[in-house]
Chains A and B, each alone.
Chain A
Amino acid sequence: MKQCSKCGLPETYETIEYDNEGVCNICRQQDYRDESIDWDKKKDQLDELVSKYRGKHAYDCIVPFSGGKDSTFTLNYLVKEYGLKPLVVQFNHGFMRPILKENNERTFKKLGVDVHSFTPNWRVVKRLMLEALIRKGDFCWHCHTGIFAYPMQVALRYQVPLIFWGEPSSEYTAYYDVRDEEEELVDETRFNRYVNLGITAEDMAGMIKSDFELDPRDLDPYTYPPLRELKKLKYRSVCLGSYIPWDVKKQSKLIMDELGWKGDQVEGMPWELYPYEKIECYMQGVRDYIKYLKRGYSRVSQMMALDLRKDRISKNDAAQLVNDYEGRRPPSLDLFLEYLGLTEDEFNQIVLKTVVPPFQPDFDKLENAPKTWDFDQWFRENN
């Protein structure tokens, strides 16, 4: 498989393109962000943006919030830097871990914010997970769509036009190339471009109703609201990371220091070194595992890529970590199979159909990843 000569990401990584020197476009985007953006000017634009909306609506802005490092940093920044009155909108994907819940409570109470939380119908979620797994080899459809569509509905309901997201996608992919100098709008185009895996709620409804008793309203939470309504509101849905430089290591440390935010053990990752990455969901292990089976790399490689770009790790150490941790079978897979009523063999067959060439998975060579401390607290259907 082709690989980036700088960060190591393989050609199965979505939207990756290599230039004449074998360096990938994601690396080049990072270079551009470091060298060619006038961050002072961006900060001025952010100041302008904030003052345009402050104090004029029920809330100054909406902050979609998962409790991970990025959304926690974003919320903290907006409250502390600008003294904004946000409405925090939380879409509960169904897999929140104990430390995450503690972090959230502590964050909300320390910062003093109003919080709107929504939990969708679990039975519908399970059916959606299965369909998404089969069609796309990615069971997180309900989460991707819920997280990006639901807060827009809340924005309309409360008539709050300004919505602040966290990191821009160009930190990770090239759906929006930062070198094109176009502001990344977190809108329906972006939603359709990749967030919803190319499947809208209207599409999904027809796909599952033959074997599932679907009430037409069941998929409302995952439906992007009509553009017309959002335009009437004069909405502005942007990433904080379009205005300030993004650095996950620095930012995680900041929220740990300022808010007492705690990291956590994450399945299949080196626990001491990356306690801040993707702590908000206990299906993360399965997600990473599927990615590994489909594409031949996973979260460890992604973290290595980020650190290699910032010269925080040597290529040898990175390769070693990937070798020691990546591609292990996660304990949470048992829960996942239980939720969806699948055998591991059926699961493997489904995933095999969505493998991204030129990678080929080897099901025989897989080892097991250790259980995290809270594994026994995660939801079991057959209790």
Chain B
Amino acid sequence: MVKKRLIPLMLLKDGRLVKGKQFSSYKDVGDPVKSAAVYNSQLADELIILNIGSSSIQPLLDILDELSKVCFMPIALGGGIRSVEDAVTLIRHGADKVVVNTLCKRMPTAISRISELVGRQALICAIDVRWDEELGDYVVYTESGKCKETISLNESIQTMSELGAGEIFIQSIDRDGTAQGYDVELASRVVEIAPKLPVIAAGGCGDYRHLKELFLDADVEAAACGSIFNFSDSNPIRAKAFLNNYDIKLKKV
């Protein structure tokens, strides 16, 4: 049986890692390669590194070589992927998976092409959402939360599914950096719409209870974490020990 995954989410900006709140007010949280080495030592299941500093993949390429030398678990890279070529370049230089968000909305056909070339298993399609009180539903955003999209959440997921996404990454911008817990309802909904695809939930993880809640109440396969490993006395090994005491099984190496 496939184990649940804990995935540290690393945001790359100007050569450093940062962590913010609701996609703003970013604080320095470390050196990208050193931090990746730390997560490797701490037996993290996977890493997701998103470039939020620029709209090209160059910052990712700059660190990919060094990252590959210290990470012996899968690494997914994204942020600034603007073409099929960008995605393929990242895979060729050592990324195991690519994460695409804006591209899914701008060039849906590119998604199918990427899926064909690198394999579905190497393609994570990401969606960022904010809750709209007036609308009474989630609204999809691209361009790191700056551009409001008209396509609905449900439609987005269905399209990504059909085009060849291997996994869905769903992030609540409202919860991001608040350390108040995941939007479990959001995660459950995405799982419902795409039951055959692994879902990675992100946004809001502050302590181990949030992870417990997410895994017990929503059938997601993975939890992406930002604040918890940067602003509290915790690490993936401890998180797993805690979850194990509640019968939530993560990998055992």
Is A–B contact present in the complex under a CB 8 A cutoff?
yes
Instruction: Establish whether residues B231 and A135, one from each chain, have CB atoms under 8 Å apart when the complex forms.
Output: yes
List the B side residues contacting A354 at CB < 8 Å. 231-233
Number of A-B contacts (CB under 8 A): 90
Is A339 interfacial (CB-CB < 8 Å)? no
Is A112 interfacial (CB-CB < 8 Å)? no
Is A233 interfacial (CB-CB < 8 Å)? no
Quick one: closest B residue to A210, CB to CB?
A: B28
Contacting residues of chain B (72-92) with chain A, CB-CB under 8 angstroms: none
> CA A354 – CA B208 in complex, angstroms?
12
Quick one: closest B residue to A196, CB to CB?
A: B38
Is A175 interfacial (CB-CB < 8 Å)? yes
Is B235 interfacial (CB-CB < 8 Å)? yes
Is B178 interfacial (CB-CB < 8 Å)? no
Instruction: Establish whether residues B233 and A193, one from each chain, have CB atoms under 8 Å apart when the complex forms.
Output: no
Contacting residues of chain B (8-44) with chain A, CB-CB under 8 angstroms: 16, 27-31, 34-35, 37-38, 40-43
Instruction: Establish whether residues A192 and B38, one from each chain, have CB atoms under 8 Å apart when the complex forms.
Output: yes
Is B189 interfacial (CB-CB < 8 Å)? no
Residue among A2, A137, A193 with max Cβ neighbours from chain B (10 Å): A193
Quick one: closest B residue to A16, CB to CB?
A: B241
B27, B31, B41, B209: the one contacting A189 at CB < 8 Å is B41
Instruction: Establish whether residues A356 and B207, one from each chain, have CB atoms under 8 Å apart when the complex forms.
Output: yes
**Cβ distance A15 to chain B, nearest Cβ, rounded Å:** 5
B27, B42, B43, B244: the one contacting A198 at CB < 8 Å is B42
Quick one: closest B residue to A180, CB to CB?
A: B253
Q: 8 closest A-B pairs (Cβ-Cβ)? A: A203-B30, A192-B41, A202-B31, A192-B38, A206-B28, A200-B34, A193-B41, A189-B41
> CA A206 – CA B230 in complex, angstroms?
14
**Cβ distance B87 to chain A, nearest Cβ, rounded Å:** 29
Q: How many residues of B contact A (CB 8 A)?
A: 30
> CA A135 – CA B230 in complex, angstroms?
7
> CA A191 – CA B208 in complex, angstroms?
23
Quick one: closest B residue to A194, CB to CB?
A: B235
Is B154 interfacial (CB-CB < 8 Å)? no
List the A side residues contacting B229 at CB < 8 Å. 198
List the A side residues contacting B231 at CB < 8 Å. 135, 353-354
Q: Mark A146-183, 1 if CB is under 8 A from B, else 0.
A: 00000000000000000000000000001100000000
Instruction: Establish whether residues B38 and A200, one from each chain, have CB atoms under 8 Å apart when the complex forms.
Output: yes
> CA A16 – CA B241 in complex, angstroms?
6
With A15-B241, A174-B241, A354-B233 known to touch, is A188 a contact of B41 (CB < 8 Å)?
yes
**Cβ distance A14 to chain B, nearest Cβ, rounded Å:** 5
Is B138 interfacial (CB-CB < 8 Å)? no
**Cβ distance A206 to chain B, nearest Cβ, rounded Å:** 4
List the B side residues contacting A194 at CB < 8 Å. 42, 235, 237
Instruction: Establish whether residues B37 and A192, one from each chain, have CB atoms under 8 Å apart when the complex forms.
Output: yes
**Cβ distance A346 to chain B, nearest Cβ, rounded Å:** 16
Classify chain A: how many residues form its interface, as a range.
35 or more
B31, B233, B244: the one contacting A138 at CB < 8 Å is B233
Is A220 interfacial (CB-CB < 8 Å)? no
B31, B43, B232, B234: the one contacting A200 at CB < 8 Å is B31
> CA A202 – CA B40 in complex, angstroms?
16
Instruction: Establish whether residues A207 and B30, one from each chain, have CB atoms under 8 Å apart when the complex forms.
Output: yes
List the A side residues contacting B40 at CB < 8 Å. 192
B35, B207, B209: the one contacting A203 at CB < 8 Å is B35
Is B245 interfacial (CB-CB < 8 Å)? yes
> CA A190 – CA B237 in complex, angstroms?
12
> CA A165 – CA B100 in complex, angstroms?
47
List the B side residues contacting A2 at CB < 8 Å. 245
> CA A248 – CA B234 in complex, angstroms?
28
Quick one: closest A residue to B31, CB to CB?
A: A202
> CA A358 – CA B28 in complex, angstroms?
28
> CA A17 – CA B244 in complex, angstroms?
7
Instruction: Establish whether residues B232 and A353, one from each chain, have CB atoms under 8 Å apart when the complex forms.
Output: yes
Quick one: closest A residue to B229, CB to CB?
A: A198
> CA A11 – CA B208 in complex, angstroms?
11
